[in-house]
């Protein structure tokens, strides 16, 4: 039924009633999930509901959330569907508007349901195994399609079931069960991961950890492990459901980038080169640390930096700088400055304009002290007099 026909007030009332029932009241994650998708739908943004927005806006994930490596939204959606199914399957359920989360999407559906007949007996979850079994099969298919490892543990954190970990590690299920799975972690990661995992099991805090896992070929690969607790009706943790996603390529790429950036930093420091950029709109300048030794400052208005340039060199600098700030060519200039200690320095600077995603622009470049290339006029004069 169309939500306009039901009415927003009736849907809000149904949502409040659901959130006060024990299965949702004792699960902040599911309550936050359901509240968010219903309110977004009533605000006309239901078609925009995606894993990323749900994870970051409702479930507390950071803006770096990646649905390809973090299955929390799929896991919580599966749990929510099961809970809603069990609530509405109870003939004594007094809620007159049914809120469902259809398979394959996160925008909820709404429809009126008939009130329960007098004296109706509640239906137990075990009386409806088919729906739960189908949901379980669909969830497992999603895990397999995402190439993630899915695992489950008891309340104490001991592994009881896994899908995909044996194929990756070459170990049998019996070897991995309990805390045997820790043996496939890299020795340097094993202790810290175990301490973190046991702490999560005691506090009920979701797990979010990275560690290296030994694969069947003997090589270690970085994995992202995440897990959330599944609560029983009384609020106690019944089990943990988690995933492992292979992030080895991303980790190695990030490490290679950090190494490259550090090498560049060391090379520029050895060459006494300074990086700088100018915001084309605000004309604010920021420089790397070496700017402190070259000019005594690393940040400030462009006019303050231009004031250090000798007056006779300033027209040449501006003739190259201003067009570059407008995107009309590159900036290339050599000029003299009087630094913060009153010394005369020759600087050589180059840069080009870079457009930023927000529609802005920055002139980015490098500069270095080339004073040694230019003879000191006092020395030249002394040599002329001695000749």
Sheet with 207-214: list strands edge to edge.
159-163, 149-153, 237-246, 220-231, 207-214
The sign of the dihedral angle between the CA atoms of 122, 125, 126, 128 is positive
The pLDDT assigned to 36 comes to 94
Which residues lie closer than 8 Å to 113 by C-beta, 6 or more apart?
88, 93, 95, 96, 97, 98
Please check the confidence at residue 384 and state whether its pLDDT lies above 70. no
Domain span at 40: 1-135
Take residue 126 and report the two structure tokens written for it.
């075990």
How many domains in the chain? 3
Pick the more confident residue, 312 or 128.
Answer: 312
Per residue in 130-148, pLDDT (tens digit) is 554 555 555 555 544 444 6
Please check the confidence at residue 293 and state whether its pLDDT lies above 50. yes
Q: What is the mean pLDDT of residues 57-85?
A: 85
CA distance 212 to 219: 9
Q: Find out whether 285 and 277 touch, Cβ atoms under 8 Å.
A: yes
Last residue of a domain, one of 233, 261, 289: 261
Is the residue at 386 inside a domain?
Answer: no
Last residue of a domain, one of 206, 228, 261: 261
Q: What is the mean pLDDT of residues 340-346?
A: 86
Which stretch of 87-96, 123-132, 232-241, 339-348 has the lowest confidence by average pLDDT? 123-132
CA distance 108 to 46: 8
Is the residue at 128 inside a domain?
Answer: yes
The pLDDT assigned to 310 comes to 94
- SS3 for 314? helix
Q: What are phi and psi of 301, to 5 degrees?
A: -65, 150
The pLDDT assigned to 129 comes to 45
Which of 370, 278, 384 shows the shortest CA–CA distance to 325?
Answer: 278
pTM score, whole prediction:
0.45
158 plus 196 within the same structural domain: yes
219 plus 316 within the same structural domain: no
Is the residue at 330 inside a domain?
Answer: yes
118 plus 1 within the same structural domain: yes
pLDDT band at 251 (very low <50, low <70, confident <90, very high): confident
The pLDDT assigned to 378 comes to 44
159 plus 197 within the same structural domain: yes
Is the residue at 387 inside a domain?
Answer: no
Over pLDDT 70: what percentage of the chain? Answer: 84
Is the residue at 382 inside a domain?
Answer: no
Share the mean pLDDT of the chain.
83
* CA dist list (Å): 155 to 103, 122, 208, 260: 28, 28, 17, 44
Residues pairing with 214 in the sheet: 220
85 plus 172 within the same structural domain: no
18 plus 103 within the same structural domain: yes
Which residues lie closer than 8 Å to 280 by C-beta, 6 or more apart?
325, 326, 353, 360, 361, 362, 363
The pLDDT assigned to 123 comes to 42
Which residues lie closer than 8 Å to 360 by C-beta, 6 or more apart?
279, 280, 281
Q: What is the mean pLDDT of residues 285-311?
A: 89
14 plus 113 within the same structural domain: yes
Residue 366: exposed, middle, or buried by beta-carbon count in 10 A (0-12, 13-18, 19+)?
middle
The pLDDT assigned to 290 comes to 83
Is the residue at 142 inside a domain?
Answer: no
307 plus 218 within the same structural domain: no
Please check the confidence at residue 19 and state whether its pLDDT lies above 50. yes
CATH code for position 278:
3.30.450.20
Under the phi-then-psi rule, with left for phi > 0, alpha for psi from -120 to 50, and beta for the rest, what region is 342? left
55 plus 162 within the same structural domain: no
223 plus 289 within the same structural domain: no
Which stretch of 101-110, 148-157, 267-276, 333-342 has the lowest confidence by average pLDDT? 267-276
Take residue 50 and report the two structure tokens written for it.
């995606």
Which of 300, 267, 302, 268 shows the shortest CA–CA distance to 283?
Answer: 302
Per residue in 259-286, pLDDT (tens digit) is 777 776 666 666 668 889 999 999 999 9
* CA dist list (Å): 279 to 286, 325, 347, 350, 355: 9, 9, 21, 15, 10
The pLDDT assigned to 212 comes to 95
Is the residue at 140 inside a domain?
Answer: no
Q: Find out whether 267 and 250 touch, Cβ atoms under 8 Å.
A: no
Q: What is the mean pLDDT of residues 149-157?
A: 89
125 plus 181 within the same structural domain: no
Which of 90, 77, 91 shows the shortest CA–CA distance to 135?
Answer: 77
Please check the confidence at residue 385 and state whether its pLDDT lies above 80. no
The pLDDT assigned to 350 comes to 92
Pick the more confident residue, 319 or 76.
Answer: 319
Take residue 131 and report the two structure tokens written for it.
């729906």
Last residue of a domain, one of 224, 240, 261: 261
Q: Find out whether 239 and 152 touch, Cβ atoms under 8 Å.
A: yes
Q: What is the mean pLDDT of residues 76-88?
A: 87
Q: What is the mean pLDDT of residues 336-353?
A: 89
The pLDDT assigned to 156 comes to 92
163 plus 244 within the same structural domain: yes
Please check the confidence at residue 320 and state whether its pLDDT lies above 90. yes
CA distance 22 to 236: 12
Is the residue at 383 inside a domain?
Answer: no
pLDDT band at 124 (very low <50, low <70, confident <90, very high): very low
Q: Residue 314: count other Cβ atoms within 10 Å of its Cβ.
A: 16
Per residue in 162-219, pLDDT (tens digit) is 888 888 888 888 899 999 999 999 999 999 999 999 999 988 888 899 999 999 889 9
Please check the confidence at residue 31 and state whether its pLDDT lies above 60. yes
């Amino acid at each position: 039924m169309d939500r306009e026909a039901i009415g927003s007030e009736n849907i809000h009332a149904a949502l409040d009633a659901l959130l006060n029932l024990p299965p949702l009241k004792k699960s902040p994650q599911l309550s936050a999930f359901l509240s968010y998708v219903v309110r977004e739908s009533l605000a006309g943004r239901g078609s925009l509901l995606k894993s990323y927005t749900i994870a970051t806006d409702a479930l507390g994930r950071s803006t770096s959330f990646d649905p390809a490596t973090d299955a929390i939204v799929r896991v919580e959606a599966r749990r929510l569907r099961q809970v809603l199914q069990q609530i509405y399957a109870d003939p004594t359920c007094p809620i007159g508007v049914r809120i469902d989360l259809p398979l394959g999407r996160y925008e909820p559906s709404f429809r009126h349901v008939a009130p329960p007949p007098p004296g109706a007996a509640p239906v137990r979850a075990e009386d409806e195994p088919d729906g739960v079994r189908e949901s379980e099969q669909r969830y497992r298919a999603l895990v397999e399609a995402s190439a993630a490892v899915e695992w489950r543990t008891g309340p104490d954190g001991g592994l009881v079931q896994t899908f995909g970990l044996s194929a990756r590690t070459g170990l049998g299920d019996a070897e991995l069960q309990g805390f045997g799975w820790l043996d496939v972690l890299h020795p340097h990661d094993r202790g810290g991961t175990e301490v973190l995992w046991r702490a999560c099991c005691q506090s009920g805090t979701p797990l979010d950890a990275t560690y290296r896992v030994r694969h069947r070929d003997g090589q270690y690969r970085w994995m992202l492990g995440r897990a959330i607790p599944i609560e029983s009706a009384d609020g106690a943790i019944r089990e943990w459901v988690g995933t492992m996603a292979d992030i080895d390529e991303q980790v190695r790429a990030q490490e290679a980038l950090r190494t490259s950036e550090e090498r560049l930093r060391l090379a520029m420091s050895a060459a006494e080169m300074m990086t700088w950029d100018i915001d084309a709109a605000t004309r604010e300048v920021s420089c790397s640390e070496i700017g402190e030794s070259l000019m005594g400052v690393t940040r400030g208005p462009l006019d303050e930096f231009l004031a250090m340039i000798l007056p006779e060199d300033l027209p040449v600098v501006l003739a190259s700088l201003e067009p570059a700030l407008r995107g009309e060519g590159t900036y290339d200039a050599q000029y003299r400055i009087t630094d913060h200690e009153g010394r005369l320095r020759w600087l050589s600077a180059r840069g080009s304009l870079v457009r930023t995603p927000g529609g802005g622009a920055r002139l980015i470049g490098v500069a270095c002290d080339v004073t040694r290339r230019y003879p000191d006029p006092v020395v030249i004069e002394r040599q002329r007099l001695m000749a």
